[in-house]
Amino acid sequence: MFTILPRRTIPALGQSRLRTVFSVPSCIPVHPLRASVPFRSPLSRPQRQFSTSSPLRVQYTRFSDTHTYHSRRPDQNKVTKVVVFVTAAGVVYYIAHLEQVPETGRWRFMDISPKFEAKLEEASYASLLSEFEGRILPAKHPITRHVHRVVSGLLEASDLGTLGPSDPSVSPAVDDGFWRDDPFAAARPHDPHTSPGGKEWNLLVVNDPKIVNALASFGTIVVFTGILPVCKDEQGLAAVVGHEIGHAVARHASERYSSSKILILLAILLQAVGIDFGVARMLNYLLFKLPNSRTQELEADTLGMRIAAKACYDPRSAVEMHTRLARASESGGVGFTLEFLRTHPVPERRIKHLEELVPEAYEIIAANPQCAGIRNSVEQFLGAITRWG
C-alpha cells in the first residue's frame, strides 16, 4: 500500500540534499546544467584529438623480425624450383632407363650396367661364403651331389649356363633319407659332358635344418637343408630351385637395387614438400616396394615353371610343393597377414597362379622329344583339358 506524501519544494542546487525519491520539482524551473568540470560518462572512452605535419606511414611488423618475414617467400620459391627441377630430371632419367623383362614383357626401371652387375656378383658370393662359413656342406657330401645334379639339369635344359668348375662331378641319386623315388628320373635326359654356353653359376648347400628356404643372389644358388624334407623328392626340389633361378634370370636383385635409388629420391622429395621423412619411407615401402616384390615372386613362379618343364619335370609338382610350403608355414606359427603387407603373395594366390600355368608347362614338355618318359602323362592331361574345356 502506497502513502501519498505532501508536496515539498526542492532547494537550490548545493543548499540541501534530496530528501525523497518521489519528489517532483515544481517551483524551480529546470535549466540545462553546466558544470565547471567536463562531464565524462563512465561508459564512454576518452577521445584525444591530435594532428601532425608528417605523412602517415603504416607498417606491419611480425614478431619484430622484418628480415624473416621479407626473406621467407624468396626462400620458398627457391625450394619449389629445386623440387620441380629434380622431379623433372628424375622423370627423364626414369623413362630413359625403362626396359622390358625379356621373358615376360613387364616394364621396369633398370640402371645397372652388366659390368657393375658382375662386381655385385663377386661381392655377393664373398658375402655369402662369409655369412655361412662353417655350415656349407662339402662338394663330395651326398646331399650336395644330389642338389648339384638337379641344379645342373635345370640350367643345362634351358641353356642358362653351368655350375662352377669347383663343383663335384654328377653322381646318381643318393639315399639320404630326404627323398622319395622319382618315377621320371630315369627318363629325364642328362649328359654330364654337355657344357652349354652362358653364365657360370655357384652352388652352396647350407646345413641348417631350421631354415626352410632357398635363394639365388647374383649368380649364386643357395639351398638350405631345412627345405629338403618339404621338397620330399627331386620334383619338389626342382620346383623350388627353378623358382630361384627364375629370380636370377629376370635379374630381380639388380632391379631391386635400381629401384632403391628411386625410392630414396621420392622420400627426399616428399620431405621437401612437408611430409616427414619416416612417413615418406613408409609410404614408399607400402605403395611401391611391397607390390613390386609380390610381382617379382609371381614372375619367378612363371619362369620357374617353364625352366622345370624344359628339364622334363612334372609341372604339377610345383603346385604340390607350394601347398606343402603353405602348410609348413601354418604349422610353424606364421599367422594371417594382409597381402598388401607381405613381400610374397598369399599362398592361395600363388597356388592358383601355378595351376593356371600347368597347361603351358605340359605343352613345353610335349614339344620336347627328350621328355618321352612322361609323354603319356602329358597326353592324358591335355586330353582331359580338351574333354572338359
220: CB partners within 8 A, 6+ apart: 121, 124, 125, 128, 201, 202, 203, 204
Query: For every one of its 389 residues, what pLDDT tens digit does the chain have, with 9 covering 90 and above?
Result: 555 555 555 555 445 444 444 454 555 555 555 555 555 555 555 565 555 555 656 555 555 555 555 555 666 788 788 878 888 988 999 999 999 999 999 999 999 988 899 999 999 999 999 999 999 999 999 999 999 999 999 999 999 999 986 544 343 444 455 544 444 444 455 444 444 456 899 999 999 999 999 999 889 999 999 999 999 999 999 999 999 999 999 999 999 999 988 888 888 888 877 888 788 788 888 888 899 999 999 999 999 999 999 999 999 999 999 999 888 877 765 555 667 778 889 999 999 999 999 999 999 999 998 887 665 655 565 555 555 54
Alpha-carbon gap, residue 271 to 333, rounded angstroms:
38
pTM of the model: 0.71
Helix (H, G, I), strand (E, B) or coil at 100: strand
Give the C-alpha separation, 126 to 167, whole Å: 17
CA distance 94 to 370: 44
The residue written with cell numbers 630361384 in the block is 244
**Burial degree of 36 (CB within 10 A; 0-12, 13-18, 19+):** exposed
Positive or negative, the CA dihedral 305, 309, 313, 319 is positive
Half-sphere exposure at residue 197, Cβ-oriented, CA atoms within 13 angstroms:
0
Using an 8 Å Cβ cutoff, are 309 and 357 in contact? no
Strand partners for 217: 220
> CB atoms < 10 A from the CB of 268, how many?
13
Contact between residue 313 and residue 149 where contact means Cβ atoms under 8 Å apart: no
